[in-house]
Chains A and B, each alone.
Chain A
């Protein structure tokens, strides 16, 4: 057995960081609706999800035998430096979407990173275009439709069956149902995604000659991968939880239960019938479906549109970053060092930016919510102040120094519209207060997400009773 070289050590550490971002990115999949309906207190929800992720990591020994599942030609010479570049690309994109509060697929980010690194290092023949379509694009496009339709029909059914009952008498039951199905999603997530990181680390160890080809992951790999994803889950991607739990539509317990069950059923059915669908798209699709299934529920199509844009950008964006990183890592040790430093700087920057407007367990549910759980008619008028608030916010921001601040105030308004969604009217003035800082700094980071989608978001806000009802 050879010693673990510094490069392999760095790749393993980076893989664990990716696993961590994967955890906090995907907490929303399992727990967003459970938290937004109040079935579980936020911190209890993420703790439960973390434990189940950890359990899931140990549950199955069927570790991914390939890093990319056949998307890139790994026999064409995949080297630790390329894996490193791919992981950096995936981490950076995960952080950007996290800052924007958008749920995007961590697996797609990893695939995108690998594709970008392979294109730069090996060339186009290293990427299997067919596999990209059949294993990434088709599952991602089909997922929201399959899960969304199932959740929509289930929501209709449960409201119809329970139309004569007292909500107070049934809420406990729906709570229990949501917790059970959210637990299943967490468990499946721990098994799938922790395995993925274990596969990456194991294959890195194999390429470095540390362990024999075909061997199972050492125990420390299983433990560290499981711990990293659980820790990420526990820290909780509150921004994304808020988007999924409140940003798409206002979720009632019945809808939360139908959405979670639909997500769990879709994930399990698809992965065991040989057509694995993308978990992130399944979970957000089922929330959307649950929104469509309740009469009078408002869907914020602007938020949904931004999510779809983020999904579409994930592969190319992560690939771009990874490709650029590969150009450097291919130069040797100094290149790897530079990429590592840039990666660390990106993590630090993301952390700093997130501190400006922190989203935590304490305020994950408090934004955009009317005082009481919204009854049907409340949702439409609720959007009218939102439409009014945007220009108002721009004025507030522009007041102190009109000439200099106006552009960034406009940006802040666009940003508020794009990151907050109509129901976040309450937060818009707050955004404008920090106009100088947030308005100037965020766009640079968020541009890839915001640029193509902000107009759509604004369009969704301007007509007072936005295209809402189902």
Chain B
């Protein structure tokens, strides 16, 4: 009987990294989207920060969408 510890270890590492990575990236995306720029009284400069946040969020979501697409291709493969 031979248990493939190496494969199990690889699965463990890949799972850990991909889960934590994806959840982290997605959370950053959510944070970028939910940035309000400090409400009405905020300085105009805040507008730039909001736009930056939005752009970053879009990048994060795009990365997650790519991961989902890769997942689908794995299932179909």
A and B assemble together: yes
**Chain B residues within 8 Å of A95, by CB:** none
B57-77 at interface with A (beta carbon < 8 Å): 64, 68, 71-72, 74-77
B34 contacts chain A at the CB level, 8 A cutoff? yes
CA distance A151 to B18 in the complex (A): 11
A331 contacts chain B at the CB level, 8 A cutoff? no
CA distance A470 to B33 in the complex (A): 30
A127-184 at interface with B (beta carbon < 8 Å): 129-130, 133-134, 138, 142, 146-147, 149-151, 153-155, 157-158, 161-162, 165-166, 169-170, 173-174, 177, 180-181, 184
Q: Whole-angstrom distance from the CB of A192 to the nearest CB of chain B?
A: 9
B52 contacts chain A at the CB level, 8 A cutoff? no
Please give the residue numbers on chain B whose beta carbons come within 8 Å of chain A beta carbons, in ascending order.
1-4, 7-8, 10-12, 14-16, 18-20, 22-24, 26-31, 33-34, 36, 64, 68, 71-72, 74-77
Please give the residue numbers on chain A whose beta carbons come within 8 Å of chain B beta carbons, in ascending order.
56, 59-60, 129-130, 133-134, 138, 142, 146-147, 149-151, 153-155, 157-158, 161-162, 165-166, 169-170, 173-174, 177, 180-181, 184, 187-188, 191, 257-258, 261-262, 264-266, 268-270, 272-275, 277
For the complex with contacts A157-B27, A264-B71, 11 further pairs of A-B residues with Cβ separation under 8 Å are A134-B3, A146-B11, A154-B20, A157-B23, A157-B24, A180-B68, A187-B72, A188-B75, A262-B23, A266-B19, A275-B11
CA distance A161 to B57 in the complex (A): 14
Q: Is the CB of B75 within 8 A of A257?
A: no
CA distance A69 to B60 in the complex (A): 40
**With A56-B75, A134-B1 given, is the CB distance from A177 to B15 under 8 Å?**
no
Q: Is the CB of A169 within 8 A of B36?
A: yes
Q: Is the CB of A272 within 8 A of B19?
A: no
**With A134-B1, A173-B29, A257-B23 given, is the CB distance from A60 to B75 under 8 Å?**
yes
User: In the complex, what residue of chain B is closest to A272 when comparing beta carbons?
Assistant: B74
Q: Is the CB of A166 within 8 A of B34?
A: yes
Q: Is the CB of A173 within 8 A of B22?
A: no
CA distance A372 to B19 in the complex (A): 29
**With A142-B8, A275-B4 given, is the CB distance from A262 to B74 under 8 Å?**
no
